[in-house]
Structure 1
Amino acid sequence: MANFPKDRFDTLPDDLVRVGAHRAPKRAGAGWITFAWAALATGVLVGAGLIGVGILDSSLSFTEPTSEAAPGGTTVPTAEPVTDPATVADREITVTVLNGTATAGLQDDAATVLEDQGWTIGSQASSSATDITQTIVYYSDAANEDVARGIVLAIGVGDVRLSDAYQGAPVTVVVGSDFVPAG
């Protein structure tokens, strides 16, 4: 190993805080500037990722579920409602009931009405939204439109919509404030 002679840079005074020009004091606000650049880079990457996924996956949609509506805004009936759940027992359809209002337990009341008429209830819960005014029965497969229309008749209020918003649930009832429980 080579031995180099000592020079003036090898010995430093004890009171010297900085050593070299590259160790200048930090500027005020330098941390915020770094944070801003990182936030900007994150936003650009997330935006580019969403655009990329939107281009590659045509089923991605940022819109609310829609219904089949006539020009006047009314829903066009396209299937005869099922009034007897036993006639569709071979389809093994379970109904999910969600409470879209601030009234506690409304999903239980709607589920009871449906169970009393023979419908199979899969689950009941509160919806993430609590300001739903109109009861909507969503069905994920066009073949289940007749069941959805039968459920509207069973609870006495609502409209039906074909939607993939509730994956894994053949029929989902989102109870709105227009539903009034019996009794």
Structure 2
Amino acid sequence: MVHWPLLLLAALPVWGQEPLNPDNMLPGCPDIVPRSEWGALPSSCLKPLNLPVEYVVVSHTAGQPCNSASSCEQQMRNIQFYHINTLGWCDIAYNFLIGEDGLIYEGRGWSTLGAHTGPAWNPISLGISFIGNFMERAPSPRALRAAQSLISCGLQHQAIARQYMIKGHRDVQNTASPGDRLYAKLRTWPHYRE
């Protein structure tokens, strides 16, 4: 004889237990490719990001582009390897990355402090980076839509403040990132502030 109430209780999370991978399972949000799917190395980052953040800083990786799940997953592994093994960081620098396949890739996620924009901006911003170099060309329309959907998701779930501001990487550091063509697109977004 099956005791249905006991089965239902067994399916519920333990009191105080974190929900399963909250960075990817926010209701009403776009799918986010989790670290486990793109083959991430374990993170040794421990500093939390205080939410909601007031800023979203958009950059580009300035490396090779990707336009398929397999090529974007490889680029994610390449970027993480470089950030950990060459730069000595605790993980990939960005909270999320956007491929031209239109998918969002989990970097450090919603709740871990990034290393994308320097010590003044990292604690107050979410770092989103487009995979590729966007000096001469803009990202694909589906990549731009994915970034906007991710920002809407963060807003909906109070990871991003209601009166947030979008900044290009070059607005807060001396860099060419996010590239001239992506920067031109970014400047047309409603919450952009120089």
Q: Same fold (TM over 0.5)?
A: no
Q: Bin the TM-score by the shorter chain.
A: under 0.3
Larger Rg: 1
Provide the TM-score with structure 1 as the length reference: 0.27
